[in-house]
Amino acid sequence: MTWSPPFPVPEAPTTFPEPRADPTGDSLRTSDSIQGNIIAGFSKDFQSLLFLQVQDRAGGLDWLAELRPRLATTAQVATFNRQFSEMLRISGSDPQHLAGVWVNVSFTAEGLELLAPRLRASLQVEGIDDGVQLFTSGARAQAEQLGDIGRSSPDHWVFGRDGQHIHLVVTVAADRSEDLAVEVHRQRELAARHNLLMVFEQPGATLPGPHKGQEHFGFKDGISQPGVRGYDPESQDHPGEVEGKPGTDLIAAGEFLLGYPRHNGEKRNIPEWLFDGSFLVVRRLAQDVPAWWAQVEHAYLQLPQAVREELSADAFAARFVGRWRSGTPVDKAPHTDVRGGRRRSEDNDFDFETDPSGDRCPRFAHIRKVYPRSTSPVGVEGSNLHRILRRGIPFGPAFDPTAGRGHGIDSERGLVFACYQSSLSDQFQFLQQSCVNNTDFPDSDDGTDPVIGVDGPVTLHLGGDTTPVPSLQRCIQTQGSVYALTPSMETLQTIIEAE
């Protein structure tokens, strides 16, 4: 019997289907259609991203057919993560005997053109969602708009540069480094067997020991993630928030998964084969740790004496991020870190509505730039139309020159930034271009994001006084960028059998 896809595969659709019903409860947790890591994060300490090039279409389709049974689904990952969290809660430490290995796959527009030309053609129609158009044009075409110039220009990228053909991105994640090594070796053999070229391999791992959970500048990372309606349980006491996570908003699934209504109820114009998929952004961001801290210290010493009497050097550094190194928000603790008196679950339970001028948390602070909450010019609901699900991980050793060779400036380190969303234009690109690099967001003359934004001065408001901070240089260098599509399991089967 010939297999047929569960949805029409048009050459060039002129109309777009209505979205599915907004999911309720935790119905998405049982999905075998949505690939893992989109809404059910892999949450592993060790990862590798494999950037592959297909040499011939037949070999690529055979490779995909052999890979598909190894791909993780949302249901599998959600079940594992729930068991892991429960055992962690009971024992107080990571359960050593509970370990997993997860794999997912994403396509660049060029890869889709090669392996599924009919599907790719259906994206070249009038009226299609703007985010789809950014996917088809690719990350390299957007570099200048995002501030990726000079040392960060595509000419210097290790992946995604001009003339380097990347068709597929395979994410491999594991709880144990030895398990990751085994799976990556298996993936290399699978690629070689079907004549796929490994263009680049990007390893990543959570930092060890006292640095665990931090990024390389030394700040706790991955704290503020949105909840997803239909996946995360809703709080009974605070409707619209995630149970057990005060201040964490539940966002409509359609902001992260294609084929569902957006947070404002609107639909995206997309063909049906995109349903249950998501767009992936991968960026390699190298971090110059000593330069960043030297710059923070230099800027602090240029502040007026009265400001330095009110703010310590650590408090000033925390204002660049919007959190202390422990993760405590400066909105709740503007002068001294009160980590010992706060629970981790409360680290998102704050808003900037009582701090419009940025006296406690500067309006230029990284966390306020990318998520201004209710102080956004369009309010919290407007902010929630631009959320992303971050799945990044550090790469390289922690900066510690006393540890010997490879732990100082003689080694590269940074963040493998990865995020999922239903629209590249409304989400990642909007955040980077209209918020992070915008000197007038959320208000005039605030300056760019001093952590990940382009060069420029920022304005500090403190005690009713306004203090300009000297021009800051970007200490993060973009070394690679790719836009990709992580399709549903049904669409993968369509590519394998119907194309």
From CA 173, how far away is CA 43, in angstroms rounded? 8
Neighbours of 17 (CB within 10 A): 17
Q: What is the pLDDT of residue 377?
A: 74
> Kind and range of the H or E element at 203?
strand 196-205
Please report, for residues 87, 301, 318, 363, 467, the alpha-carbon distance to residue 307 in angstroms, rounded to integers and kept in the order given: 47, 10, 15, 17, 9
Report the half-sphere exposure of 417 (CA within 13 A, side-chain side). 20
Tens-place pLDDT, residues 424-482: 999 999 999 999 999 999 999 999 999 999 999 999 999 889 999 988 999 999 999 99
Q: Is 367 in contact with 450 (CB distance < 8 Å)?
A: no
Q: Is 280 in contact with 106 (CB distance < 8 Å)?
A: yes
From CA 427, how far away is CA 418, in angstroms rounded? 13
Q: What is the pLDDT of residue 12?
A: 55
Q: Is 280 in contact with 420 (CB distance < 8 Å)?
A: yes
Beta strands in 234-372 (DSSP E): 241-242, 245-251, 278-287
In sequence order, the 6+-apart residues with CB closer than 8 A to the CB of 83 are 98
Q: What is the pLDDT of residue 333?
A: 94
Domain boundaries in the chain? 27-279+484-498, 286-480
Q: What is the pLDDT of residue 3?
A: 39
Which residues, given as ranges, of the chain have pLDDT below 50?
1-4
In sequence order, the 6+-apart residues with CB closer than 8 A to the CB of 150 are none
